[in-house]
Chains A and B, each alone.
Chain A
């Protein structure tokens, strides 16, 4: 959120306080209930145009945003890199002026470069929602993770949360760390040094571990992050089997966490690399619920940004 501009954007969680975050979660919670009862209000974004501008492939996130916009009655257009003029050499800012001419209201942007949505937000008249930029932020993922946790514990504070995996290359990790810190939780990050930047250890409320067992001990939440296959052999991790042996979340390790600990994963999962199937499919897993909350959170984000831009 950037209140300094008169056009409201959601570019990242960094800098947001509990007071900024909670209204999103509250609204999302109500949308979650309305979605379940098939009663989402179709008139909230009626007449508004939402463009999903995806410079990077993502079926899951794009579908989630598309569904959220449609449930609120918006006109939704998907632009993906494969079909856009970006492949023909158009710069990001040329794309921005094209979009301005189309009078789009909400622009959902996924880009492989950190900071690309922020750059776009300076040039477009629409509200920009960062749907994931490089290794920087993925704010709606953090909100949906926060909502999922809050629904289970009745609070989003004072919890021990273990985040394991490729922290270094993860925008999800950064947004989650910002949000969970802002809400007052005890965050424990685990991974090999090649995937865990030491600089994160200087943040208050964040502890780094190279032994995943320590991170998981008595944790309320065990969150796994995807370790991409291309990290293997690239010099960061020797192999999937070694990663699973040293850092994979299996039943034995999950038993170190509290008995009612939640198992979370932003997806898509690499079963047998960062998480064992037995854990991913266990009753403690809320991975499917995260997806459900994702739609609700994105409804809330689109709704609130639209209202802040056009006060009633």
Chain B
């Protein structure tokens, strides 16, 4: 593997707080030096022309359709979207068909990631068998096989006693339980946040408090059992308030959100746009503002893509019948950069923060770390166009939006795995 010298770049490493002009040398797939004084002649030089070089993004929550629904997104196709989004580490949800509830399936997902050689894939294990919320999955054996955490994906555990047992059991395994915070009986059949617009549209609704109710229950159970929990795609101010208060009290809780929840509102489902039908549903403006505030004040620990592929037939349906979920890999960086956070903070939420949550050795520019890198131009604009995005699934809620911040090149373990159009590789 050849050596690469990145010159004339703005190096941003949230793990160390570094943000400044410099150069970075990669040798044998690892970061060898920052601002090296001497380099051999055999080195490939990448001139950043003042653009940003940061750690490859770590996406802590994405779904592909493999195994079981490859027509929506296979690992191979999904990875094309990931590298185009500057992502080099992916944690994949286990609610596939079959669910990742068996050690052999954990090995399978890891091996598929290794076969592609383009990104590091870290499987979550199913929290319950078949992610059905009834019987506990073999958490200990799945962890031994390499599961980085446990979750039932976009399904919440309805039974409180079962939830208590799951948290108690997982507590001694030093792992994280990732939860979908939504009261399932309140959410059943609903497809939009309760709001005047949803009433006018005649859509079955989910009250926003369905999130806070589940968060309150699970925080209390985490306190009871000592388990470490993480709420995925938190989208309401009320839930964030509970999480912030729990953190102060020392409960072992973290949370993430996804770009739609700080970049869009329920107004975006107007005209019954099924690409904007998400789970949890898009919220009111006040909640969007609360999510932005949570990103700033540290209540929210990470930003995840929430990539949830659908094919055209899944979405070409009446709104209530359409499949919930949107793609998010390609747009993860660009939408996050619109949030108005300082660049260093925004990138922390996309790199080292999620890596540490899952115990991954990724997301830093430290010497000796794997050279997982993202080179992007924070000033360059591009327009999201469903139908011409990398990857199979095209159901982006950001269709038609112009984003500022374009990924130019992505490197995984020192190998260039993505090159933007118009650049030489």
Contact with B140, one of A193, A235, A236, A242 (Cβ below 8 angstroms)? A242
Which residues of B lie under 8 Å from residue A237 when comparing CB positions?
136, 169
Could you list some 28 contacts between A and B, CB below 8 A?
A192-B168, A193-B172, A193-B225, A194-B165, A210-B172, A211-B172, A233-B129, A233-B135, A235-B162, A235-B165, A235-B166, A236-B165, A236-B169, A238-B129, A238-B135, A238-B136, A238-B137, A238-B138, A238-B139, A239-B138, A241-B138, A242-B138, A242-B139, A242-B140, A242-B141, A245-B140, A245-B141, A245-B144
Tell me if B161 is interfacial: C-beta within 8 Å of chain A: yes
* Those of A202-253 within 8 Å (CB) of chain B: 210-211, 233, 235-239, 241-242, 245-246
A242 and B137 CA atoms in complex are apart in Å by: 10
Which residues of A lie under 8 Å from residue B136 when comparing CB positions?
233, 235-238
In the assembled complex, the CB of A173 is this many whole angstroms from the nearest CB of chain B, namely 18
Closest 6 CB pairs of A and B: A210-B172, A235-B165, A238-B136, A193-B168, A242-B138, A238-B138
Determine whether the beta carbon of A193 is less than 8 Å from that of B169: yes
Known contacts A238-B135, A246-B140; A193 and B161 CB within 8 A of each other = no
* Those of A144-169 within 8 Å (CB) of chain B: none
A211 and chain B: residue at smallest CB distance: B172
Which residues of B lie under 8 Å from residue A235 when comparing CB positions?
135-136, 161-162, 165-166
* Those of A168-191 within 8 Å (CB) of chain B: none
Which residues of B lie under 8 Å from residue A241 when comparing CB positions?
138, 141
In the assembled complex, the CB of B129 is this many whole angstroms from the nearest CB of chain A, namely 8
* Those of A236-272 within 8 Å (CB) of chain B: 236-239, 241-242, 245-246
Which residues of B lie under 8 Å from residue A236 when comparing CB positions?
136, 165, 169
6 more CB-based (< 8 A) A-B contacts, given A193-B172, A193-B225, A211-B172? A192-B168, A233-B129, A235-B135, A235-B161, A238-B129, A246-B140
* Those of B185-223 within 8 Å (CB) of chain A: none
Which residues of A lie under 8 Å from residue B165 when comparing CB positions?
194, 235-236
Number of A-B contacts (CB under 8 A): 47
In the assembled complex, the CB of A229 is this many whole angstroms from the nearest CB of chain B, namely 14
A246 and chain B: residue at smallest CB distance: B140
A39 and B161 CA atoms in complex are apart in Å by: 55
Which residues of B lie under 8 Å from residue A242 when comparing CB positions?
138-141
Interface size class of A (residues with CB under 8 A): 10 to 19
Which residues of A lie under 8 Å from residue B144 when comparing CB positions?
245
A245 and B145 CA atoms in complex are apart in Å by: 13
Tell me if B171 is interfacial: C-beta within 8 Å of chain A: yes
Determine whether the beta carbon of B172 is less than 8 Å from that of A192: yes
Known contacts A235-B161, A235-B162, A238-B135; A194 and B169 CB within 8 A of each other = yes
B-side binding surface: helix, strand, loop or mixed?
A: helix
Which residues of A lie under 8 Å from residue B171 when comparing CB positions?
193
* Those of B92-142 within 8 Å (CB) of chain A: 129, 135-141
Known contacts A233-B135, A235-B161, A238-B135; A194 and B140 CB within 8 A of each other = no
Which residues of B lie under 8 Å from residue A193 when comparing CB positions?
168-169, 171-172, 225
* Those of B148-167 within 8 Å (CB) of chain A: 161-162, 165-166
A236 and B166 CA atoms in complex are apart in Å by: 8
A245 and B139 CA atoms in complex are apart in Å by: 12
A193 and B225 CA atoms in complex are apart in Å by: 9
In the assembled complex, the CB of A234 is this many whole angstroms from the nearest CB of chain B, namely 8
Q: Which of B135, B136, B144 has the most CB of A within 10 A?
A: B136
In the assembled complex, the CB of B74 is this many whole angstroms from the nearest CB of chain A, namely 29
Which residues of B lie under 8 Å from residue A239 when comparing CB positions?
138, 141
A239 and B129 CA atoms in complex are apart in Å by: 11
Q: Which of A194, A233, A239 has the most CB of B within 10 A?
A: A194
Which residues of A lie under 8 Å from residue B141 when comparing CB positions?
239, 241-242, 245
Which residues of A lie under 8 Å from residue B138 when comparing CB positions?
238-239, 241-242
Q: Which of A193, A237, A245 has the most CB of B within 10 A?
A: A193
Which residues of A lie under 8 Å from residue B161 when comparing CB positions?
235
Q: Which of B137, B140, B144, B225 has the most CB of A within 10 A?
A: B140
Which residues of B lie under 8 Å from residue A245 when comparing CB positions?
140-141, 144
Which residues of A lie under 8 Å from residue B225 when comparing CB positions?
193
Which residues of A lie under 8 Å from residue B139 when comparing CB positions?
238, 242
Which residues of A lie under 8 Å from residue B140 when comparing CB positions?
238, 242, 245-246
In the assembled complex, the CB of A39 is this many whole angstroms from the nearest CB of chain B, namely 51
A236 and B139 CA atoms in complex are apart in Å by: 12
A235 and B139 CA atoms in complex are apart in Å by: 12
B169 and chain A: residue at smallest CB distance: A194
Which residues of A lie under 8 Å from residue B137 when comparing CB positions?
238
In the assembled complex, the CB of A189 is this many whole angstroms from the nearest CB of chain B, namely 13
In the assembled complex, the CB of B258 is this many whole angstroms from the nearest CB of chain A, namely 30
B227 and chain A: residue at smallest CB distance: A193
B226 and chain A: residue at smallest CB distance: A193
Which residues of B lie under 8 Å from residue A233 when comparing CB positions?
129, 135-136
A130 and B167 CA atoms in complex are apart in Å by: 35
Interface string of B40-77 (1 = CB under 8 A from A): 00000000000000000000000000000000000000
B163 and chain A: residue at smallest CB distance: A235
A24 and B190 CA atoms in complex are apart in Å by: 67
A241 and B140 CA atoms in complex are apart in Å by: 10
Which residues of B lie under 8 Å from residue A246 when comparing CB positions?
140
